[in-house]
Amino acid sequence: MRTILTGGTIVDSDGHCVADVAVEGNTISAIGADLVRDGDRVIDCTGRFVLPGFVDAHAHVDGLLTDDDVQRAVLKQGVTSIIAGQDGVSYAPGDGGYGSEYFAAINGSHPSYSGGGVAEYLSAVDGRSRLNAAYAIPAGTVRWEVCGRSTAAASDDERSRMVELVEQGMREGAVGLSTGLDYVPGIFADSAEIAAITVPVAQAGGVYISHMRGGYEANSAEGIDEIAAIAAASGARVHVSHFHAEAHVVKAQLDALDAAGVDATFDAYPYTRGCTLLAMPLLPPELSAQPVDEVVRVISDASERDRLRRDWFPEVDRKASLGPDWPSMITLAHIAADDYAWALGMTVQDAAARAGVDAIEFSLDVLTASRLQANAVMAVRYERPVSELAQIFAHPAHMGGSDGIFIGAHPHPRARGTFARYLREYVRETQTWSWPEAVSHLSTAPVDRFSLGRRGRIASGWIADLIVVDPEAVADTASYDRPLGEAVGIDDVLVAGVPVLAGGELQGATPGSGIRRENEG
């Protein structure tokens, strides 16, 4: 059966026109006037725009691709494909144990992947989800497979074994390599190690994707300098994850990469606050590298708590991203301990006061009770206005990325609001982007950058990942206070030519696929 999207305005990165779109199988078969024939399935798009599905260049749904609520939340924003394996930690390669352990409060546990590599991860997506997913090889997971919990620099032999794992992952269709250089074990990897394992990425035409070292914001020069050095040593194109900083800082650092001859892009979401593991800023990395049982034993011990209070928390106070008022800057989003459900949505400062203890004691109590499975929304010292974010999003190297984390009862609103917020605030309200420019930033550019095949355009013979958008109604409803509100204004979505959202309701088909890198030529 053919599907005809009729009466809508087709918009892609090249412009817009009023025409019907015919879909046969998983591809667009024709574009033109009066295409409807007897027996066709018709989707009336009158008054709405037909766009290529969006690509979330940085999302944390690695183990949640078959979850109905997550799929609905993502599809309602117009996202049909995501890049998984971010921040240097996920399931493949290996048995998935480290990704499930350390990133339990970000990615959760995968329902079917239990071992193997990139090929197995991507195969676990095929026909089991309404979403497509590509995969970046997580450098931290690779290091874990070879070096275990070691905090030492990798030996030559260990580097060689890591290179072999990366080569295999690229052969199996990965789009690149990701790092998370504020996380464990990525924080222990030096530039030379990262450059060495990035060489096969460059040779395969992939992208080095970096959650860079140094804390972003005003400190981003350190991370950008390291990225430039890695690109120079490996020859890789680069992509900077969730580049949050003042607009002039972002521009200056991208100019620095360009001056160094680095082919660079970046993603940034339309919010100023971040979200991460509660343990990441509050525990020493060397401690976080230990097994969960050992970490819990240490932070449960009164004398060890005294030591952390004396020797470590002054370092937390000195961190530029937090500082001594960190308890008021951290809002609890997820705690895997029912006894602390009352604290979700509260700052550490307020929750500690209610519990009758100080912030350090309370934080360590939460991490103990949850066995480290806690995440938090992180405030920033400077809440950038829409006008400044608009300058960042107008940069030609920008792509859409939510950094969405769905684990938790009071998550960051970016998980459910990012792409609808782009359209509401930066297309309709501020006109930072035209509609074709929005398609470029949110679909065409990431498809091209990450070699996702014949997606991101509306043309005959291209894969029919299509969304239907009401340009006057599309909006985000999630907020920091009410983060579970779903987006509105996108009610019809096709993935590989199959309706997966119709009239705002999920459909039963699961035509999503694991996207294997498709280099040009």
Residues 95-121 have a mean pLDDT of 92
Q: Please state at what angle helix 191-203 crosses helix 139-147, rounded to 10 degrees.
A: 110
pLDDT tops 70 at residue 215: yes
Residues 92-101 have a mean pLDDT of 90
Residues 25-33 have a mean pLDDT of 97
pLDDT tops 90 at residue 146: yes
Determine the Cα angle at 414 with ends 324 and 194, to 5°: 70
Is-contact 66 111, C-beta < 8 A?
A: yes
The percentage of the chain sitting over the pLDDT mark of 90, rounded to a whole number, equals 93
CA distance 347 to 355: 12
CA distance 177 to 175: 7
- Helix, strand or coil for residue 483? coil
Q: What is the 3-state secondary structure (H, E, C) of 380-403?
A: CCCCCCHHHHHHHHCCCCEECCCC
Q: What is the mean pLDDT of the chain?
A: 96
pLDDT for position 319: 81
**221-246 confidence digits (pLDDT tens):** 999 999 999 999 999 999 999 999 99
pLDDT tops 50 at residue 424: yes
Question: Per-residue b/e over 230-247, b at no fewer than 16 CB within 10 Å?
Answer: bbebbebbbbbbbbbbbb
Residues 185-189 have a mean pLDDT of 97
CA distance 82 to 109: 18
What does the block give as tokens for 69? 């609520």
Amino acid in position 437: E
Q: Sorting pLDDT into bands at 50, 70 and 90, what band is 521?
A: very low
Residues 281-299 have a mean pLDDT of 97
Q: Which residues contact 57 (CB under 8 A, 6 or more apart)?
A: 83, 239, 267, 399, 400, 401, 446, 449, 450
What does the block give as tokens for 397? 């190297």
Residues 405-431 have a mean pLDDT of 98
pLDDT for position 321: 75
pLDDT for position 100: 86
pLDDT for position 323: 84
pLDDT tops 80 at residue 159: yes
Q: Give the residue from 485, 317, 482, 488 showing the smallest Cα distance to 410.
A: 482
pLDDT for position 320: 65
pLDDT for position 322: 79
> At which residue do the structure tokens 């046969």 appear?
24
pLDDT tops 70 at residue 520: no
Residues 441-449 have a mean pLDDT of 98
**275-285 confidence digits (pLDDT tens):** 999 999 999 99
Class of residue 488 by CB neighbours under 10 A (exposed 0-12, middle 13-18, buried 19+): middle
Residues 175-195 have a mean pLDDT of 97
Residues 421-445 have a mean pLDDT of 98
pLDDT tops 80 at residue 463: yes
Q: Give the residue from 428, 425, 436 showing the smallest Cα distance to 458.
A: 436
Q: Give the residue from 33, 79, 500, 28 showing the smallest Cα distance to 267.
A: 79
pLDDT tops 60 at residue 292: yes
